[in-house]
Amino acid sequence: MSSESKRKILVTSALPYANGPIHLGHVLEAIQTDIYVRYQKSLGNECYFFCADDTHGTPIMLAARKEGISPEELIDRVRAEHYRDLSGFLVEYDNYYTTNSEENRILSEEIYLSLKGKGHIAEREIEQAYCDTDKMFLPDRFIKGTCPNCGTQDQYGDSCENCGATYSPKDLKDSHCSLCGNPPVSRNSKHIFFKLGDFESYLSDWVEKGSHVAEGVRKKLKEWFEAGLQDWDISRDGPYFGFKIPGEIEKYFYVWLDAPIGYMASSLNYFKGDRKKFDSFWKDKKTEISHFIGKDILYFHTLFWPATLEGGGYRSPTQVHVHGFITVNGEKMSKSRGTFIKAEGYLKHLDPEHLRFYLAGKLGPGMDDLDLSFDDYTAKVNSDFVGNFVNLVSRVATSILDKLDRTLGTPDAEGKKILDELRSSESKIREWYETRNYTRVMKECSRLGDIANKYVNDLAPWIQIKSDAEAARKTVTVALNAARILSIYLYPVLPRSGEKVYQILGLNKKPEFADLSSDLEKTKVSAYEMITKRVEEKSIQAMLEENTLETKSAQPTTTTPAAAPKTEGVLEISIEDLSKVDLRVGKIIEAGPVEGADKLVQVKLDLGSLGTKNVFAGIKASYQPQDLLGLTIVAVANLKPRKMKFGVSEAMLLASGEGESLSLFVPHRAANPGDKLK
């Protein structure tokens, strides 16, 4: 490809938030984006893949405080973990950065001051949620309740994960502080707003003209235009971990203002501060900017973000690709069912290319949700990946080639016809990669693999070699050239396997589409190296079981031992194990219901010299809060604190039975709070 015809493309995927591990939802998007980037690079285009950790906001500040470390220490550690897990799935970033960077601060301030100078910023007093218990203004994500639009419960204070609606926290029904579970109170505070309505005409044109978004996205955006574009609150009160707003006192940029600017900061960091190179993407419309996001952040990337860029003096995105959610075995990922699968857990037991292959087979250009069925996963990988693609190489590159001095010949006329048929699919495959219709690519490659394998089966080189070695050589030559063509087509999806095929063929390079124009003839072939192995059911079960155990051990311990799953037999522990459990007498000095939780009661325990501890206990079926006040009970006092959506549980009440027959343990004789049980 000549330099004149090369496209210049900057690609991003959404920024993982630095308050939790990478799970399969993150992996889905990272793989979808990486396939697109690898495809562009395999064509010879100048393509960059930028991402970063999203690091600002109150949740980060509080998580760091809980660990007794600085927010900077927390986000540095999490960023390293995120990069490790995402790159473990062969996702190849040009730069994986952080939003807590000097580049991001400078760009955020520049864009804000540009918006302000052009009259797109407004100030006004607002009623804001404040938690009297935690003594802080509550960020949107620390308020939960019922969506005012669709009625879905347990939604955040800024947007609904079910219907996608955005709203003010005060519009949320049955709202409560997600830290302590208490209803917030209202306080006035000056806030700074971005006047999104100033850009309605611009955004309407951007949505309607060209191919910036898919048709399904366009229809959704029309609904929001019809409802009217609301001013966007871009400030938060301190305490807050983020960038201070220039010219303001104790006001910080809302995380959603500086997070997408993190795309720009990651690229500026990669370009080593070269503003000319930076501007060649972010200001020059002859280049391309493509964002990959999930449908839950559609509003921010297709309305706020293009408007922010336009008002800040930059160009809008060329394309915003929107995908759906991932489900596991037909259901939303669930911690209780053990199907909330972390990337680290998957990589411990299963091949990352197997997931890339399976997801690519289901990824289309739309926003449909995608299901990971492990039965289907096993069948598809074993039949189409191993049985079709890998088998095409392994069956002819081992002992047969040894008898042919591991040297290829030339394809005969029939063989050339087969190879030309495979090559004839190039234009379709390129179109499908370009439009993110990966499922069509995978189906076509499977069809082409069937054609090549049938050719090998019909000629049976393992039989040919017994009477006509040169005929067998021609068959093997066609088979391995067919595998080379398929490895080029599949390289964006299967980079490791594609490179292994090339290494076996003696090609010390990465597969690329330019290699399709010629055949490999009369050359030595290296010893066969296993490309991948079949999926084993025991590996999947080990991953799911380990994930279930890990998830359960990480859950807040708020119910009694009797509520644990029943098992046959009794787990034996040593006296040393038992000595680790600190059993204390506790007196319940406060008790109350937990809003939004039918089974929980919140109690405050007086543990004497250990102070008071907060506990969420699943005992409401047998104890009403008013019956618990003053009760002396037995508790596990040294339980590691567990964060729940209602707050933090710091101990565990001991009980026997379950449901209405559940009974708390109480000391047999008079005992004082804090007394240790032996």
Where is the binding site for ATP, in residues? 335
- Give residues with Cβ within 8 angstroms of 485, minimum separation 6: 419, 422, 423, 448, 516
User: How many C-beta atoms lie closer than 10 Å to residue 219's C-beta?
Assistant: 10
Which of 549, 566, 560, 571 has its CA nearest to residue 639? 560
Place of tokens 């910036």: 212
How would you write 294-361 as a 3-class SS string?
A: EHHHHHHHHHHHHHHHHHCCCCCCCEEEEECCEEECCEECCCCCCCCCEHHHHHHHCCHHHHHHHHHC
What DSSP character marks residue 653?
Answer: E
Gap between the Cα atoms of 389 and 380, Å rounded: 12
In 69-143, which ranges are continuous DSSP H helix?
71-87, 102-117
What angle is formed at CA 176 by the lines to CA 340 and CA 169, rounded to 5 degrees? 90
The DSSP annotation for 185-251 comes to EEEEEEEEEE-GGGGHHHHHHHHHSSSSS-HHHHHHHHHHHHH-PPPEE-EEESS-SSPBPTT-SSE
Gap between the Cα atoms of 624 and 338, Å rounded: 31
Q: Give the CB-side neighbour count of residue 394, counting CA atoms within 13 A.
A: 13
Q: For residue 453, what are the CA distances in angstroms to 403, 409, 446, 542?
A: 21, 19, 10, 33
Binding residues, by number, are 147, 150, 160, 163, 335
Copy the structure tokens of residue 281: 């993407």
Binding residues for Zn(2+), by number, are 147, 150, 160, 163
User: Exposed, middle or buried: residue 552 (CB in 10 Å: 0-12, 13-18, 19+)?
Assistant: middle
Which of 11, 32, 8, 23 has its CA nearest to residue 96? 11
Q: Are 404 and 465 in contact (CB under 8 A)?
A: yes
Bridging pattern class, strands 46-53 and 95-98: parallel
- Give residues with Cβ within 8 angstroms of 139, minimum separation 6: 57, 58, 59, 157, 236, 240
Place of tokens 């893949």: 49
Buried/exposed code over 456-491 (b: 16+ C-beta within 10 A; e: otherwise):
beebebeebbeeeeeebbbbbbbbbbbbbbbbbbbb
Q: Give the CB-side neighbour count of residue 214, counting CA atoms within 13 A.
A: 20
Give the three-state DSSP class for 149: coil
* Kind and range of the H or E run holding 127: strand 121-131
User: How many C-beta atoms lie closer than 10 Å to residue 645's C-beta?
Assistant: 14
Which of 196, 149, 141 has its CA nearest to residue 171? 149
Residue type present at position 426: E
Strands of the sheet containing 173-177, edge to edge, are: 155-156, 143-146, 173-177
